[in-house]
Every structure is written in C-alpha cells, then in structure tokens.
C-alpha cells in the first residue's frame, strides 16, 4: 500500500445538529479524491452518519462538553475514516439480530451497524485517544 | 432540513426538504402523527429533494407506517433517487413500502 495522507481532520461538539455538515465535507473530499461518485454519495454519507450518531448518542451519551473527531486518511487504495468519541466503546463482534428478516423488518431500531457493514469494506473498533470506530472504503 | 405538508385531495403529502437523519426525524414523526390525529388516513412522503436517509430516518418511516396502518390508513413513498432505492433494498424495506417513481403515480395509486 502506498503513502497515506490526511484528507480531513475535524472536531465537532457532541451534538447531532453538526452531523450533516461533517458528512457533506467528507463527501466533498471524497469526490475531490476521485472516489467513484456513488461511493461518495451513498456509502460514505450513510456509513459516516451512522458512526457519528453512534459516537454522539451512545459513545458520548450525555455529552456535556464532549466532542467527536473525524479523521480521514487516504492511500492509493483506500479511504479510512476514524471516528473518535469519549465513550467506553462497544463489541462489534457481539451477535446482533439481522434487521432484514421478516420479523425484524418492522422494528424501528437495529439497522445502524448493519448499514455500516454493508456500505464499507471494513468496520473496526479499537481504543486509542478514546473509542475509535474505523470505516475503510476501497477507492475503486 | 424541513418538511412541507400539503394536501392533494384526501392525501397528506410530505415533502422532505433535505436529508432525513437523526437530527430531524422526530420533527417528521410529530408532523405526520399530528395529521393522523386530525383524522388523515392517506400519506405520501416525497423524497425528491433528499440525498440520503440514515438508519434512524428509516426507523421513523417504519414506525409511522405501523401507526398509520393501525389507524386503517396507508403510507406510500415517492421519488427515491438511486442511493435511496439501494438503501431500501439493502434493508429490505422495499418490501414493506409501496414506492412510486413519481409523485403523480403515487397519488394515483391511493
């Protein structure tokens, strides 16, 4: 894999009202990096929206004075989005109900991690300067 | 991001002006529930100005669909772009909603 560079590094207050602006910025950078338009408009926007709302509503929870950071690094092959929050994190490997089965389709919740997994090539979680969810998307 | 509500005959038409995401989904839910409480039964949500919907937005549509059906009504959707269509297919919500490619076709379908 070639050299990596930082394509985006922004920090926002832990409030859902800031999500849309960050997503539009990320989608714009994505287009500037010549990632296919569909990946920028759908995969990046929706998966990042899920990661950000998880970070704000579940990670930081009450959120007083907390912040969320989004950093995107790019290499020849991939764009990697790291979403940092101050929460305890969660177990990505924990079994979850499939939201697409007929019995789960009528539920209001439970599609966020599923969509991240379907729209990104890799979804990982680790601890480094807080809780980090890493979304990796191949550029081609 | 806002929602414009108009009436086309018996149908309450909601135009989603922007994205349907965690920050505004409750506003949509409340506006539709208010109309339902006033006695409306037929609802059309038009997404012609919407680029994407997140999981909480999809969840609100599922919840509204159930509540409207419980009251003997119907919720239909129109004007999903290719990205939205893909989202509905990925989540298999395309099997739950009647989706029309134009507003006119959706209105005729009630």
Distance CA A85, CA B33 (A): 34
Highest-scoring range by mean pLDDT, A36-45, A53-62, A126-135? A36-45
Scan for tokens 């909603």, then name that residue: B97
Residue A6 has pLDDT above 60, yes or no: yes
CB of B32 within 8 A of CB of B63?
Answer: no
CATH number for position B40 = 3.30.750.24
The C-alpha atoms of residue B42 and residue B47 are separated, in whole angstroms, by: 17
pLDDT of residue A16: 94
Contact between residue A11 and residue A71 where contact means Cβ atoms under 8 Å apart:
no
Minimal CA separation from A131 to chain B, in Å? 21
**Are residues B36 and B3 in contact, defined by beta-carbon separation less than 8 angstroms?**
no
| Pairing status of strand A131-138 against strand A5-13 | unpaired
Q: Is B82 exposed, middle or buried (0-12, 13-18, 19+ CB in 10 A)?
A: exposed
Is the pLDDT reported for residue A64 higher than 70? yes
User: What structural domains and CATH numbers belong to chain A?
Assistant: 5-138 (3.30.565.10)
Q: Which pLDDT belongs to residue A2?
A: 66
Taking the C-alpha atoms of residue B105 and residue B89, their distance in angstroms, rounded to an integer, is 20
Measure in Å the smallest separation between the Cα of A15 and chain B Cα atoms: 9
Q: What ipTM is given for this predicted complex? A: 0.94
Interface with B, mutate which of A26, A42, A68 (most B CBs under 10 A): A42
* pLDDT value of position A132: 95
Mean pLDDT for A57-75 is: 89
Q: What is the pLDDT of residues A78-104, one digit of tens each?
A: 999 999 999 877 778 888 899 999 999
pLDDT of residue A36: 96
Asked which of A19-28, A59-68, B71-80 is least confident by mean pLDDT, the reply is A59-68
Please measure the distance between the N-terminal and C-terminal CA atoms of chain B and give it in whole angstroms. 27
Strands A122-127, A78-85: pairing is: unpaired
Q: Looking at chain B from residue 2 to 41, which residues have their Cβ under 8 Å from any Cβ of chain A?
A: 18-19, 21-23
CA dihedral over A2, A130, A123, A92, signed as positive or negative: positive
Nearest beta carbon to residue A19 from set B23, B82, B90: B23
Q: What is the DSSP string of A51-84?
A: HHHHIIIIISTT-TT-EEEEEEEE-SSEEEEEEE
E strand or H helix at B28, and its extent? helix B25-37
Partner residue facing A42 (CB), from B58, B86, B91 = B86
pLDDT of residue A129: 77
* Gap between the terminal Cα atoms of chain A: 14
Q: Average pLDDT of each block of 10 consecutive residues along chain B (110 residues)?
A: 92 97 96 98 98 97 98 98 98 97 96
Q: CB–CB of B13/B6 below 8 Å?
A: yes
3-class secondary structure, B88: helix
Test the A interface: residue of B2, B17, B20, B23 with most A CBs within 10 Å: B23
pTM: 0.95
pLDDT of the residue at A93: 80
Query: Residue B58 belongs to what domain range?
Result: 2-108
A63 — pLDDT class (breaks 50, 70, 90):
low
Q: Give the length of chain B.
A: 110
Total domains present in chain B: 1
């Amino acid at each position: 894999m070639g050299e990596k560079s930082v394509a985006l590094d922004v920090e926002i207050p832990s409030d859902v009202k800031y999500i849309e602006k960050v997503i539009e910025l990320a989608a714009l950078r994505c287009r500037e990096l010549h990632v296919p338009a569909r990946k920028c408009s759908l995969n990046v926007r929706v998966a990042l929206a899920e990661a950000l709302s998880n970070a704000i509503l579940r990670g930081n929870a009450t959120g007083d004075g907390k912040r969320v950071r989004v950093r995107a690094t790019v290499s020849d092959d991939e764009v990697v989005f790291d979403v940092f929050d101050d929460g305890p994190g969660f177990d990505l490997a924990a079994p979850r109900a499939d939201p697409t089965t007929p019995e789960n389709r009528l539920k209001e919740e439970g599609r966020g991690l599923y969509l991240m997994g379907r729209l990104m090539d890799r979804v990982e979680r680790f601890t480094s300067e807080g809780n980090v969810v890493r979304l990796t998307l191949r550029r081609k | 991001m806002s929602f414009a509500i108009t009436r086309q005959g018996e149908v309450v038409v909601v135009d989603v002006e922007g994205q349907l995401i965690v920050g505004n989904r409750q506003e949509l839910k409340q506006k539709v529930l208010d109309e339902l409480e006033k006695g409306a039964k037929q609802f059309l949500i038009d997404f012609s100005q919407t680029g994407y919907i997140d999981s909480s937005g999809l969840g609100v549509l599922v919840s509204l669909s159930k509540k409207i059906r419980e009251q003997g009504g119907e919720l239909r959707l129109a004007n999903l772009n290719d990205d939205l269509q893909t989202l509905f297919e990925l989540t298999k919500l395309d099997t739950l909603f009647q989706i029309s490619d134009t507003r006119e076709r959706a209105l005729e379908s009630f």
